[in-house]
Every structure is written in structure tokens, then in C-alpha cells.
């Protein structure tokens, strides 16, 4: 309730400020203009096709990061040797700005989808690997011993699932802004490219509208993820 009020207040200020003259309308268009442009964008085929391209890169990058990162992280969590080998690589990669990396990827792989998806994978790997690693390492030994005494293999991934799902939730957001950032830099196609073109043409309202759509999608994806996980896995305890 209080949250909704805060948002309403913010939107109210956003609407009023440019109209009253607190900020220049060219710099910050009023909320209603942005909302109208956003609605219009969602009906424009060029934008939708860019949205689809971005979406595909987001999905592919996220999926590959999960496929590689979860087993790798789990392995690191259970094997001190593997952890000792991979940990420093992760630590080095962590502070490197993805923006710098994307230029490197383009240099190596060209400006196509390999570099674009590759950078998303790189960005998502950190939260996924770390959460999988902690999840796997944190499994109570009694649980594994119980499985062993029952003649079953150690259920590492299932026991680590709550942490893995937390890491994946973070990775969803990381993937979104990594896609956007890479498209802003190397353009060509995608939502980031669309936004850059609008900025280049002085279409401030469009820039805001694209940003608003991306923010809205991010919010919706996160909410859908949390809801979906809760429904699919009713046994899960605690926060995601």
C-alpha cells in the first residue's frame, strides 16, 4: 500500500515537474507523454522486431549461463580442487566492466550474435556459479549420508536448488541490462540500438519510452519468475 503510494507520488512529480518548469521538457518529458509513446512503440513493427532480437539474446545468454554455470558451480561447491582452480578466474572477471568486454568480444567474434550472446553469458555466469557453489557446498552432510544409507546417489542439485534459483533470479536482471548495454555500444539491432538511434535523432520521449518498457519488462519477468517458481515448486521454503 505504502509502496503503491510512493510510486504514485513519483509519477505525479514526473508529470508535473516538466509542465511546471522545474525541469526542461526536452530533458525530462512528462510521464503522460512517455506513457503514450511507449504504448505506440508496442504497436510499431520495427520496435517489436528489435524487442524480439533483444529478447532472443537475453534468453539464449541466460540459458547457456544456466547450463554451464549450475553444474560448474555445484562442482566447485563439492570439490576443493576445482574451486581452487576456477575461483581466481571468477575473481578476476568479476570487476571487469562488461562494456569493456563487449568490445573485446566484437574484436574476436565480430559484431554478430556470438559476441552479443557471449557477453550475456559472461555477465550471468557470476551470480549463477556463485549461488550454485554456495548451495552445493552448504548441503548438510546428514542429508547426503541419509541418501547414501538408502542406496541413492547424493542429491546435490536438488538440495542446492533454493540457492540456485536465487542466483538465477539475479541473472535474469543481469542479462537484461547486459543485453541493453551491449546493444547501446555496438548497435545494429535490438532495443539498445533503437534507443541509441532515438537519442541520436533527439527523440527524447522515445528514449524514455524505451527505457520505461525495458524497466516494465524487467519487473514483469522478475514477478513472473517468482510466481512461477512458487507454483512449480510448492515445497520451497523461504524467500527466493
Partner 1 sequence: MAEIEARGVRKVYGDLVAIDGLDFAAGSGELVSIVGPSGCGKSTFLHIVGGFVEPSAGTVSVPGRLGIVFQEPALFAWKTVLGNIAYGLPRRERARAVRYVELVKLGGFERAYPKELSGGMKQRVALARSLIMDPDVLLMDEPFAAVDAQTRSTLQAELLQIWERARMTVLFVTHSVDEALFLADRVYVLSQRPARVKEVLEVGLPRPREREQVLADPIYRDLHARIWSLLEA
102 closest CA partner among 206, 211, 202, 190: 190
When the beta carbons of 36 and 78 are compared against partner 1, the nearer one is 78
Q: Does 184 bind partner 1 (CB under 8 A)?
A: no
* 239 touches partner 1 (CB under 8 A): no
- What torsion do the CA atoms of 224, 229, 234, 238 make, to the nearest 10 degrees? -100
Residue in 94, 151, 231, 232 binding partner 1, rule: CB under 8 A: 151
Provide, rounded to whole angstroms, the least separation between the CB of residue 143 and partner 1.
Answer: 5
Candidate segments 13-21, 25-33, 85-93, 147-155, binder of partner 1 by CB under 8 A: 147-155
Closest contact distance (angstroms) between CB of 138 and partner 1 is 13
As a whole number of angstroms, the distance between CA 55 and CA 61 comes to 10
Nearer to partner 1, 94 or 235 (CB): 235
Beta carbons of 57 and 180 less than 8 angstroms apart: no
Can you give the length of the chain in residues? 240
Among 82, 155, 173, 199, binds partner 1 (CB under 8 A): 155
* Widest distance between CA atoms in the chain: 73
Residue 134: CA count within 13 A, CB half-sphere: 11
- Is 145 one of the binding residues for partner 1 (CB under 8 A)? yes
Q: Which residues bind partner 1 (CB under 8 A)?
A: 140-143, 145-152, 155, 158-159, 161, 233-237
Amino acid at each position: 500500500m505504502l509502496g503503491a503510494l510512493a510510486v504514485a507520488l513519483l509519477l505525479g512529480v514526473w508529470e508535473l515537474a516538466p509542465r511546471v518548469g522545474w525541469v526542461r521538457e526536452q530533458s525530462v518529458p512528462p510521464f503522460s507523454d512517455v506513457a503514450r509513446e511507449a504504448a505506440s512503440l508496442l504497436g510499431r513493427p520495427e520496435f517489436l522486431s528489435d524487442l524480439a532480437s533483444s529478447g532472443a539474446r537475453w534468453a539464449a545468454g541466460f540459458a547457456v549461463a544456466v547450463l554451464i554455470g549450475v553444474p560448474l558451480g555445484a562442482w566447485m561447491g563439492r570439490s576443493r580442487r576445482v574451486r581452487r582452480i576456477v575461483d581466481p578466474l571468477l575473481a578476476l572477471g568479476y570487476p571487469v566492466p562488461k562494456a569493456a568486454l563487449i568490445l573485446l568480444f566484437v574484436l574476436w567474434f565480430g559484431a554478430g550474435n556470438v559476441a552479443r550472446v557471449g557477453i550475456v553469458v559472461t555477465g550471468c555466469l557470476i551470480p549463477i556459479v556463485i549461488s550454485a557453489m554456495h548451495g552445493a557446498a552448504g548441503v548438510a552432510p546428514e542429508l547426503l549420508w541419509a541418501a547414501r544409507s538408502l542406496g541413492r546417489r547424493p542429491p546435490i542439485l536438488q538440495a542446492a536448488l533454493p540457492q540456485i534459483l536465487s542466483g538465477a533470479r539475479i541473472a535474469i536482471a543481469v542479462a537484461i541490462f547486459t543485453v541493453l548495454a551491449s546493444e547501446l555500444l555496438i548497435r545494429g539491432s535490438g532495443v539498445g540500438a533503437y534507443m541509441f538511434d532515438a537519442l541520436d535523432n533527439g527523440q527524447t520521449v522515445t528514449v524514455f519510452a524505451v527505457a520505461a518498457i525495458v524497466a516494465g519488462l524487467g519487473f514483469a519477468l522478475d514477478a513472473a519468475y517468482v510466481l512461477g517458481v512458487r507454483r512449480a515448486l510448492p515445497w520451497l521454503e523461504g524467500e527466493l
